[in-house]
Structure 1
């Protein structure tokens, strides 16, 4: 073999080694976490779709038991999350949201109170009805006054409480009373349904017009009485993600749980009906 042939072969070997080295360098560069589209894609995939942090939910008082149950389930399904609830009268909650209170989700006991939030431009998208609720009369255990209808509540010897007219349960009660063509003067108007129910549970009142879900939640502290006019005053419950939600991802995930088969099961077991 001549010297020139050996030199040519050596040059080819060096060139091949250099090309291999360049290819190896290129491969390392593309998988470098600080550069390249491949690293961007893997980073995005690893950080998406997993709720984390605190989700703040403003919800109607009548949702207290069922949403507390769902909040625990949400935290179990998504380790590292925490659901913080603000339960109260829907009208008060709506006023807080439109005044800038930080919240991710609003679940209202009526479309009217949700409209306060949507009209102010504070909802992200269109609210969705997720359950319905109807009224019952809550009486003392054993129903000692033998209350069987709305008309029985008009007696002068009974202490009856209603929700405030601005609250969804109060507006529904007024609608039912109008349907029965009855006038009722309560001993007090309460800010939300839990406050009205507690008056009976504490034996500070003889009866209250509340939601059947709250009668169920109270157990043996009260007794529930159905009345036909309740069918004319059923409340739709809408839920919405809020526009300036601090944790929109977790808020969406919580709404998804509420609307899921599991969420609907928990709500129907609490006495709500499907929309």
Structure 2
């Protein structure tokens, strides 16, 4: 039996595009094959994508590219913490595609029976320390963040970036008491951008997207806490062919070029 669509329930509003979209779009420009063109011309309708906050810049760029090559389509996004997005999906929020920042949060959706097919990892991401421009506090390691004079922000532990940060801290035997736990990686980074915190542990892709608003500091422990990002089609979609075509773009060489250009790692 065809799953009952969730479109009668209230939708979450899509987040706006972040900085750097134009540069990412330039990376994504390339010619399509005849077979791709045939597939593109057959797609239509609006597709709603729920995606981890760290994907905002690159997915926004890919969404614009998709709409350019599929004139009768529209891609809308809702970016946020993967755990909150997963809870919204299982609660009936209308969405066609889910891209999570960890297999754990994706499992919430698959266990609830809301995924159509098996999720596939399309990129990975690594942590970095974001400091104020110029790194005035001379942060050079994860251990430096334990300095009680520093105001440090982490993602909430249930959020993939927070779970990864805690894994890195545990592996190092370090204890850190942040001034706040934020519900997604963008919120943690914003605390540093607004100078409400001296440092935050976020993804390196977000440090790169922030440009000169912050300075990134790599730390070796991050190699032990790399997050896999899975993506899947959701049940109840009105336009499965269009949703599948967007997922195909994300996983294509063109999509990979945009994502690695933003700092993501290959799966």
- TM-score after normalising by structure 2: 0.85
Q: CA deviation digits over 1:164-218, x for unaligned, max 9?
A: 0010000000000001100000000000000000000110000000000000000
RMSD: 1.3
Are 1:234 and 2:226 counterparts? yes
- Structure 1 consecutive aligned stretches of length 4 or more whose deviation exceeds 2 Å: 46-49
Greater relative contact order structure (CA < 8 Å, 6+ sep): 2
Q: How far is 1:48 from its partner? A: 10
User: Among residues 184, 208, 212, which one is paired with 1:220 in the alignment?
Assistant: 212
Are 1:83 and 2:84 counterparts? no
CA distance in structure 1 between the partners assigned to 2:40 and 2:183 by the alignment: 41
- Cross-structure match for 1:156: 148
Going from structure 1 to structure 2, the CA distance change for 1:176 and 1:47 (only over 3 Å counts) comes to closer
Are 1:192 and 2:184 counterparts? yes
SS of corresponding position for 1:82: strand
CA distance in structure 1 between the partners assigned to 2:119 and 2:60 by the alignment: 21
Q: Which runs of 5+ in 1 are unaligned?
A: 1-45
Which is worse superposed, 233-242 or 243-252?
A: 243-252
Are 1:249 and 2:249 counterparts? no
User: Among residues 189, 207, 212, which one is paired with 2:199 in the alignment?
Assistant: 207
- Cross-structure match for 1:169: 161
- Cross-structure match for 1:41: none
- TM-score after normalising by structure 1: 0.82
Tell me the matched-pair count.
230
- Cross-structure match for 1:106: 98
SS of corresponding position for 1:72: helix
Q: CA deviation digits over 1:89-143, x for unaligned, max 9?
A: 0000000000011110000000000000000000001000000000000000000
Structure that is richer in helix per residue:
1
Q: Which runs of 5+ in 2 are unaligned?
A: 1-37
Which is worse superposed, 65-74 or 240-249?
A: 240-249
